[in-house]
Amino acid sequence: MLHCPSLNSGVKLHKNILIIDDDQFIRDLLTAFLTQSGFAVHVAKDGFTGMDDVLTGVFDLVIVDISMPHMNGFGFLKSLRESKYSNLPAIMLTNSKESSDIARSAKLGVEEYLLKPPEKFDLLKRVERILGGLPQFEEIIFSSTDPDGVGHCTLPFKLVSISNSGMILNCPFSVGDDFVLDCINIDFLKKLKIENLKIKVVTCTKAKSGGYDCFLSFIGINRSHQEKLREWIISKSFEQRTRKTNGG
């Protein structure tokens, strides 16, 4: 089992984005654009599923299509604005150039109205404008030299960082996208009573330091568990800063 040592730096901040679209090509395209830029991404295929995700997850922005089965983008936005997450910013990404759709989107509080397929840097510019800059979510970075262990795993992976949305692992081999692993035998997750999580490989790229860095998102993690992770990460960052201040 691989030793996963403790943090050696403070909190990094990223952002969580929900994509709602029934077109797999668009979901995959946006996921690639956003994850390559450091955003954490979750996808849904229709408005009903997307609304469930909003109510059970933690998101900073939603990108939604108009034409979808079961509940279209307008239905989703109407439900969103009537919920306790009414202030969640949204981008409408659609094939429609109709002025009536543009006007209706504006009335439902859409921040940006974009046509498919989006150009990468135009999309990122608008996303960063809405979110106030670079990606943000809580994350701790781990050191391979720190003797204080915080966990173990049964695969030959080194834990590089962890956030309230997922983990980055370094491994000696490439792991295919969409590969799903059981998130088990990690001591600090057990201490937080966060068990039976699964993690999905979002991207796996060759690391400059050797091996491959895999970004894995938590599957089905609920809001309570995300808040536990967030509080743990912030407390560990505070401990790190205190040790540095005291010369430890």
The rounded percent of the chain whose pLDDT value lies above 90 is 36
Amino acid at 234: I
59 pLDDT higher than 80: yes
Eight-state DSSP code of residue 69: S
pLDDT of residue 141: 57
Residues 25 and 94: beta-carbon distance below 8 Å? no
pLDDT band at 97 (very low <50, low <70, confident <90, very high): very high
Output the CA–CA distances (angstroms, integers) from residue 13 to 99, 131, 162, 166, 188, in the order listed: 37, 12, 11, 13, 21
Contact 68, 116 (CB under 8 A): no
Say whether pLDDT at 136 is over 70: no
pLDDT given for residue 152 in this prediction: 42
Instruction: State yes or no: pLDDT of 12 exceeds 50.
Output: no
pTM of the model: 0.55
Tokens representing residue 40 in the block? 């954490």
Neighbours of 191 (CB within 10 A): 12
Sort residue 178 into left (φ over 0), alpha (ψ -120 to 50) or beta: left
Give the chain's mean pLDDT: 79
pLDDT band per the 50, 70, 90 thresholds, residue 104: very high
Are 42 and 16 a contacting pair, CB within 8 Å?
A: yes
Closest CA to 124 of 34, 60, 214, 223: 34
Q: At what angle do helices 73-81 and 99-107 cross, to 10 degrees?
A: 20
Residue 195 has pLDDT above 90, yes or no: no
Instruction: Kindly state the average pLDDT of the residues 110-114.
Output: 97
| β-pairing verdict for 212-219 and 197-206 | antiparallel
Please name the residue that has the structure tokens 């009335």. 107
